[in-house]
Structure 1
Amino acid sequence: MRVLKAIPVLLLPVLLAIGCATTAYVEKDETADFSRYQTYAWIDSDKNEDKKNRHADLMKKNVQEAVNAKLQKQGWREVKNRPDVLISYDMLVEKSTRELSNPVYSMPFRRVYYNPFYRRFGTIYYPSRFMGYDYNTATVQEGTLTITMVDAKTDKTIWQGWTTDDVNSRNVTRKEIQSSVNSIFRKFDVVKK
């Protein structure tokens, strides 16, 4: 009986973690036969771009490690020669404005009155009341991670997943990348046929 009471307590953190995850979007080619894909390789980005942006090496490493872990869990393996699928990613961090609405309440107050019937003073308490919303805008940084899979033989995009989330700075942290990759690969259901 105690075990049955403990189950909801143990499931609560899991449900909260899933509920707080960012929304991911996926598009896949319905004609592609994913049962024949077992190997993959990463597409190298421009070398000139990497020289301009040194932090891109660390971000590239973090994204590739997170995606590799998810794909290897599905039974895929990374190879250098003749892969079935080529994988690339794109990370875009941009400033955006967001509308915020905050509720506004009046200040509570008291009023003193005189009651001539009882010949006494009394106090009436007026609690705070909802008065409406205060609207303003805030500037936020949004990071969009897109992961694309291309069939190596036909050079046709077979699967693409992306998610957008608030990031703290221009350099996306390992934890933010891991969270985005988890959200995207939660919808990677191509193996389940």
Structure 2
Amino acid sequence: MGNIFKTFGAAAFSGLLLAGCASTAHVEKDKSVNLNNYKTFAWVDTRESKNDTVKTKVSDLTERTIRDAVNEELEKVGWKQSKKPDVLLTYDLLVERAVKEENNPVYSQPLTRYYYNPYSRRWIPVYYPSEFLGYDRDRRPVREGTITIRLIDAKNDKTIWQGWTTDEVASRNLTGKEIRNGVKSIFRKFDVAKN
């Protein structure tokens, strides 16, 4: 019986640790739309403007990675790619510089002092606990990557659902792992917004 509790405790701790590492995702949905009515999708190019002759500039490897990650998540909920889709998919990737500010609490060191009591002729310990002194503020430059996924109704060209996530990244481009983790974070909220 003790082993069951140890195993369950380790699994729960691992789950909390993984949840803490995941980036926070946000979603918006057209409230008048029931996503259960959609079952097929296709990808469309994203351009900066109507006159732009080149779609959003990302490498073909990055594009394949994001499309494969989104396809996998949609196929998990029973959607399929189609030449006559219910939904058109677009994405945006953005990596920009930002400043991250961290506020760390600062405490004094606890200490014990001894006082001599001449009446009892004994040394008496007096404990002083640590005290809150304020915050140590740290500002450092970081790069933040944002992934946005949009679902557009193929009949009326209206956005029916969008999800996005922003997280700190290591370089000017998002890695495949960062893309897959971001897409998973976004689609964890897909079922919540489905009805």
TM-score range, shorter chain: 0.7 to 0.9
Q: Structure 1 residues 155 and 103, CA, compared in 2 at 3 Å: closer, same or farther?
A: same
Distance across 2 between alignment mates of 1:58 and 1:174: 9
Q: Do the aligned residues in 2 keep the contact of 1:40 with 1:87 (CA within 8 Å)?
A: yes
Q: Report the counterpart of residue 60 of structure 1 in structure 2.
A: 63
Q: Report the counterpart of residue 44 of structure 1 in structure 2.
A: 45
Q: Report the counterpart of residue 87 of structure 1 in structure 2.
A: 89
Q: Do the aligned residues in 1 keep the contact of 2:105 with 2:134 (CA within 8 Å)?
A: yes
Q: Do the aligned residues in 2 keep the contact of 1:35 with 1:191 (CA within 8 Å)?
A: no
SS of 1:9's partner is: helix
State the Cα distance separating 1:60 from its structure 2 match. 1.0
Structure 1 length as normaliser, TM-score?
0.79
Count of residue correspondences: 183
- Percentage of identical aligned residues: 51
* Structure 2 segments unaligned to the other structure (5+ residues): 48-52, 114-127
Q: Do the aligned residues in 1 keep the contact of 2:29 with 2:193 (CA within 8 Å)?
A: no
Distance across 2 between alignment mates of 1:75 and 1:29: 21
User: Over the residues paired in the alignment, what is the CA RMSD in angstroms?
Assistant: 3.1
Q: Structure 1 residues 15 and 103, CA, compared in 2 at 3 Å: closer, same or farther?
A: closer
Q: Report the counterpart of residue 8 of structure 2 in structure 1.
A: 7
* Structure 1 segments unaligned to the other structure (5+ residues): 112-125
Q: Do the aligned residues in 2 keep the contact of 1:34 with 1:190 (CA within 8 Å)?
A: no
Q: Do the aligned residues in 1 keep the contact of 2:35 with 2:194 (CA within 8 Å)?
A: no
Q: Structure 1 residues 188 and 78, CA, compared in 2 at 3 Å: closer, same or farther?
A: same
Distance across 2 between alignment mates of 1:191 and 1:106: 47
Structure 2 length as normaliser, TM-score?
0.78
